[in-house]
Chains A and B, each alone.
Chain A
Amino acid sequence: MKHTISVLVENKFGVLARVAGLFSARGYNIASLAVSETLDPNTSYMTIVVEAKDELVLEQINKQLNKLIDVITVTDFTKKENIDRELVLAKIKYSPKDKPKIEAILDKFVGKIIAYKDDTAIIEAVGNQQQIKLLLEELNKFGIKELARTGKLVISS
């Protein structure tokens, strides 16, 4: 099962390595990771998505995260009401005849074409994990050449 954990940390060098190290030491792969400053430039907010087969191991990771000196708070969003979003940028194969079809897809999701170059178009879209998954399946019918994703962001609701 996928878990989403948010960690508020001191904004210092080495903190990300400490946090990531707790996952890697247990052979856990981080599925996505988003890090940025909060309103207070001295702190950063990390949103980590991890696939955990063993709940006990995850509980242990949460406790270990809390033990890190530079970690201020840890929130496990798995059992907490929240809203999640991810931003994707996708470069797809494009010819003008496809434009209506692509726009029809993008209308269903919150997306738009933001640039054209040669035979490609760059698409920006925002959605929750399920929406992004469906969107990418649709777009892949045209051929996705490059893809960049922010990783999941969450906020409690």
Chain B
Amino acid sequence: MKLTGSKILLECLKREGVEIVFGYPGGQMLPTFDALYDYKGFRFILTRHEQGAAHAADGYARATGKVGVCLATSGPGATNLVTGIANAFMDSIPIVAITGQVPTALIGNDAFQEADITGITRPITKHNYLVKEVKDLARIVREAFYIASTGRPGPVLIDLPKDVQVGETEFIWPEETKLRSYNPKYSGHPGQIKRAAKLIMEAKKPILYVGGGVILSGASLELLELAEKIGCPVTWTLMGIGGFPSTHKQSLGMLGMHGTAYANHSIMDADLIIALGARFDDRVTGRLDVFAPNARVIHVDIDPSSISKNVHVDVPIVGDLRQVLVELLQHIKCPPSISDWLKHVEALKRKYPLGYKDKNKILPQYVIQQIDELTKGEAIICTEVGQHQMWAAQWYNYLKPRTFISSGGLGTMGFGFPASIGAKLGRPEKIVFDIAGDGSIQMNIQELGTCVANKINVKVAILNNGYLGMVRQWQELFYKKRYSYTPISSPDFVKLAESYGAVGIRVTKKEEVRPAIEKAIKTDNTVFIDFHVEGEENVFPMVPAGEAINNIIGGLA
């Protein structure tokens, strides 16, 4: 049967198992939106900005492990997706972004709402396509989902000119996808795995350093088994949060710039770093030439270009983390003798505890602890970017993968709120919080409209300190308190929420914190809680940029 390009697109999305598409219409997408008008194959969520659609697709992908899909028109619609695509790219999140394009005959003519979106997104997508003929469309959609979700996942963009949407062809669903030049390697090299096992069994001071790969490959159970078999401490990156239960006795929490002091000291003192699905990012290693000077490194990653990029690796293993761990576990015959090391790590934990000086004011850390207690660590926590993000990483006890959703690599303010929409739609049984700052929430606040119109029940905890807090903190510490454009005003968030038809709660006293969170959880609506927190509280511990990660300032110790 002959179908139009638009109908083929929808049929392909349905066959790929797509449940929800986030998007926004526009002139060059009219044929596809016409096909969507009475389409029942999946749910379409109209966001209030294309950037919101891209982040919502990203949040959906992070919460569910499935591919997120967003759709926008040509030109400004497409360029508004760019930040969301770059964000997904940096954190290896599988999304498929579909954009309208001017008719093929007009491409390159500076036509109305024309932008070379494949050119623009080339360095921020895993791959992208300009569909020039409708007969290629089904194959391209199939390839896009395959590429986005396999190997090291990432965003794929499909640019769809209007005439291709209108054009008709015989619809043939390609049963399988084969690309001769793209064959992700999943099983690790057996010799390297044996070498890694040997190093582990001989280690005196091993540490597990875990990144987002553990979440992406679904390796949490294998990680737990490995950690308990070795008996060594476990630390993780921002992206690795939730991959290992933070209440576990071997847990050291997050490491790096705002990691726990004991995690940073431990990795610096280690003689073996077992890096799993992490990429030795500069926020983790600090000054590279003095990072973990006595450690040998085992590095498991699906992406060969991550290995030996920043630090020298002794045993590289390219493969899917879960598969590699299953193999590795079989080769670790006996745990290493590390009792002295564990005593040392325990001493570091006692010497440098994570803490804050309590006051009779609302401290942001306190708010997050209360959210943790009242949701029993089982909510999905999304964040924006800044101080609140680091506090959310430090003070909530994540127990399971895919419960912490945050912009790690790109550091995108305005990510959390639309991401929470995607997360809630993907995991409706979960309580979903967006922990936000007063600056960040104003970047995509228009998505309140999306929430209310679609009855998406997310809770937004605004830690309102009147500043762009993280930049203010740096100005306080490194720029002589010259608060250049970091004080920021906000609307009345309660009235704003109410004007959209959501619920707003203002909290100005410490004793109101818990009741407000309880009320928000019980309310069957989107809730904005405006916590008026201490204005100049800082995120500690902190490693100044470019310093060794055991050169830590602030905190209790």
A interface, CB within 8 angstroms of B: 9-10, 13-14, 17-18, 21, 25, 59-60, 63-64, 66-72
Contact = CB atoms under 8 A, between A and B. Distances in A.
B126 A69 contact: yes
A63 B310 CA distance: 14
Contact of B122 (A13, A17, A63, A71): A17
A49 B62 CA distance: 41
Contacts of A10: 181
Contact of A25 (B123, B130, B181, B308): B123
B442 interface: no
A21 B304 contact: no
Nearest to A69: B127
Contacts of B187: none
Given A14-B130, A60-B309, A72-B181, A67 B303 contact: yes
Contacts of B217: none
B181 A70 contact: yes
A25 B126 CA distance: 15
Contacts of A13: 130
A18 B121 CA distance: 11
B551 interface: no
A67 B305 contact: yes
B179 interface: yes
B123 A71 contact: no
Contacts of A66: 304-305
A13 B122 CA distance: 13
Contacts of A69: 126-127, 147, 179, 181-182
B118 interface: yes
Specify which of B126, B127, B147, B181 lies most central, judged by the most chain A CB atoms within 10 Å of its CB: B181
Contacts, number: 33
B180 interface: yes
Contact of A21 (B123, B127, B181): B123
B119 interface: yes
27 contacts: A9-B181, A10-B181, A13-B130, A14-B118, A14-B122, A14-B130, A17-B122, A18-B122, A21-B122, A21-B123, A25-B123, A60-B305, A60-B309, A63-B304, A66-B304, A67-B303, A67-B305, A68-B181, A69-B126, A69-B127, A69-B179, A69-B181, A69-B182, A70-B181, A71-B181, A72-B180, A72-B181
Contacts of B126: 69
Interface string B307-328: 0110000000000000000000
A14 B122 CA distance: 9
Interface in B160-180: 179-180
B128 to A, nearest CB: 8
With a 10 A CB-CB cut-off, give which of A13, A14, A17, A25 has the most chain B CB atoms: A14
Contacts of B123: 21, 25
A63 B127 CA distance: 16
The 7 closest A-B pairs by CB, nearest first: A63-B305, A69-B127, A72-B181, A69-B182, A63-B304, A64-B305, A21-B122
Given A14-B130, A25-B123, A69-B126, 12 more contacts: A17-B119, A17-B122, A18-B122, A59-B308, A60-B305, A60-B309, A64-B305, A69-B147, A69-B181, A70-B181, A71-B181, A72-B181
A18 B126 CA distance: 11
Contacts of A14: 118, 122, 130
Contacts of B305: 60, 63-64, 66-67
A56 to B, nearest CB: 8
B178 to A, nearest CB: 12
A60 B182 CA distance: 18
Contacts of A21: 122-123
A14 to B, nearest CB: 7
Contacts of B181: 9-10, 68-72
A4 B305 CA distance: 20
A90 B305 CA distance: 42
Nearest to A65: B305
Nearest to A59: B308
Contacts of B119: 17
- Scoring A13, A63, A64 by chain B CB atoms within 10 A of each residue's CB, the highest score goes to A63
A59 B179 CA distance: 24
B308 to A, nearest CB: 8
A78 to B, nearest CB: 18
Interface string B88-130: 0000000000000000000000000000001100110011001
Contacts of A67: 303, 305
Interface string B176-220: 000111100000000000000000000000000000000000000
